[in-house]
Amino acid sequence: MKILDSIKSPEQLRLMDAALLPQLCDEIRHTIISTISKTGGHLGSSLGAVELITALHYVFNTPEDKIVFDTGHQAYAHKILTGRLSKFNTIRKKGGLSGFLKIYESPYDTFGAGHASTALSAALGMAMARDQKKENHKVVAVVSDGCMTGGLAYEALQNAGQLKPNMLVVLNDNQMFISKRVGALGSFLTKLLTAKYVAAAETEATKFMSNFEIGNNALKLAYRARSILFSGALFAELGFRYYGPVNGNDIAEMTDVLSKIKDIPGPVILHVVTKKGKGYPPAEEKPTKYHGLGIFDAETGETIGKSDKITYTKAFSDALLKLAKEDKNITAITAAMPEGTGLNAFRDAHPDRYYDVGIAEEHAATFAAGLATQGIKPIVALYSSFSQRCYDQIQQDICLQNLPVVFALDRAGLVGEDGPTHHGVFDLSLFRNIPNLIIAAPADENELQHLLKTAFDANKPFILRYPRGSAEGIAMDKEMKVLPIGKGHWMKKGKDLTILAIGNRVYPALKAAEILKEQGINAGVINMRFAKPLDVKIIKEAVKISPNLVSVEDNVLAGGFGSAIAEALADNGLKADLLRLGVKDNFVEHGKQAELYEDIGLSAQEIAKAAAKKFK
């Protein structure tokens, strides 16, 4: 029997002979590779953190001691060791384990997070609550180097340095974000990994101090000089004791170091170096590709079942390259997601006009605003769910000043297996209230390229949102054209009711109309294209044909596209019966996209069923 099969909880893990831990780690790693090859998921980060997570649960008394992970995609070993091995084959499947951490999935999941840079703030809150309640357990935050580029992490660090609670921060440094690490912090951390640099810094500090005779203060000044030169300078200045770097993929070293530092008082940082994709050659060689992926052959690492259709991300990438070739002022910005957003092709073609700002969406937005004031045409490519982090910058720094910044929001709508932290179902409601902002959503890949050209031509703040995954397979026009802003398009007219759809719900709406026709209901369909400004004229045309309207969107109903339709009807005195279909007032769990759209009533069949029930 495998060792792993006998580990039902960290309590059992802590009873093991430490000599067996390397074998246990190998078994955990094999389980992750075997399972994720069948389900898809975040592979590279979790493989790299196996020894680190095993050591944490071996040394600390979890769940009484709290471990807080920054994003959950590195924590598959954590799930396996905390009683979820038997369910691990359900990860990311509908009704199965989440791919991220959830406080209602396990008492060992102390804080849920799918977005980066939150662990330090959450762990600090837990540590202060412990002290306020006169309790005595440990609090550990596991933070990746990529997450340390987020401003929230530094807000927490400075506050922790001020409050000085007993807490441990494990900086899991795999020299990557999701893609290659960038920025000044990346360079700083790279220097930390070089033992020669550390030794040289200490030698230089000693030589420097030997030139002075300063009595009893020599030691203090020498320590300060050492701190300035030594690897822990940044953290020491923030009030942390710094230890490391240590080999995070050596289980014996990790358990030894954690055992020695866990009782050190005050805030402590342990710098741990791990290898993303550790133990799986394809992931070690191409860590970016194997950060997150679909089903693959575990033997070869090759993807299985890839669609022949172009993805929306690829359509966006191709269109942007064409436009950038013609216009030298077009400049692209991403927040550590060049491959995910399709900007990797732009990066390779135009490195002098490409910026990866790290996991710092707020900075990306205001940085783009600064570029725009000087005649540059910036486009910021983000996932829809990540755009939530820069609402204030979009409102204050871009829209208030009416600056021509384009936002390309990938993964709008339901993203599937990544679940509620990544579903892009809030952007229409979030941004529709901001003056000067145009919001568009293409029905297909051909319309996407035209709307991208329209966005740059508009010379105003512009959001272009589009879904994850394969596009519709529509033929692409060779030449891009500017579409009239705020104008919808009749797909078909029907005397009994009209479906007003936007974005990736347009084609399901057309199929719903076909289903309704078989039931004797003649339904029209409008591709509205723009959530803002709204085409009131085409809505009036629809009401003249029939007062029965159905709005369909892949966004929450509260404040979304359907709300805009209802407002337009009320503001213009139009008498109509409106059925709004969209995401109701709840978070949508994980599962395949098609499954989820069916569940929440936004598939073609469900749209037709709801419309027939309302208007038959």
Q: What is the 3-state secondary structure (H, E, C) of 460-529?
A: CCEEEECCCCECCCCCCCCCCCCCCCCCCEEEECCCCEEEEECHHHHHHHHHHHHHHHHCCCCEEEEECC
Residue 159: exposed, middle, or buried by beta-carbon count in 10 A (0-12, 13-18, 19+)? middle
Does 361 qualify as catalytic in the annotation? yes
Q: How far, CA to CA in Å, does 383 sit from each of 19, 41, 334, 465, 568?
A: 44, 17, 10, 9, 29
Pure H helices in 98-194: 119-132, 151-163, 183-192
Mark whether 598 is an active-site residue.
no
* Antiparallel, parallel or unpaired: β 292-293 and 41-42: antiparallel
Q: CA torsion angle for 182, 187, 190, 196 (degrees, to 10)?
A: 160
Catalytic residue among 51, 339, 361, 447: 361
Which of 29, 138, 181, 389 is flagged as catalytic?
Answer: 389
Identify residue 50 by its one-letter amino acid code. Answer: V
| Residue 529 bears catalytic tag | no
HEC readout, 255-322: HHHHHHHCCCCCEEEEEEECCCCCCCHHHHHCCCCCCEECCECCCCCCECCCCCCCEHHHHHHHHHHH
Q: Is the Cβ–Cβ distance between 68 and 140 less than 8 Å?
A: yes
Residue 324 main-chain phi, psi, to 5 deg: -70, -30
Are 472 and 496 spatial neighbours (Cβ–Cβ below 8 Å)? no
The catalytic position among 93, 226, 276, 411 is: 276
Q: Which of 223, 231, 182 is nearest to 206 (CA)?
A: 223
Q: Are the beta carbons of 273 and 194 closer than 8 angstroms?
A: no
> Do residues 312 and 410 make contact, with C-beta atoms less than 8 angstroms apart?
yes
Residues labelled as active-site residues: 276, 361, 389
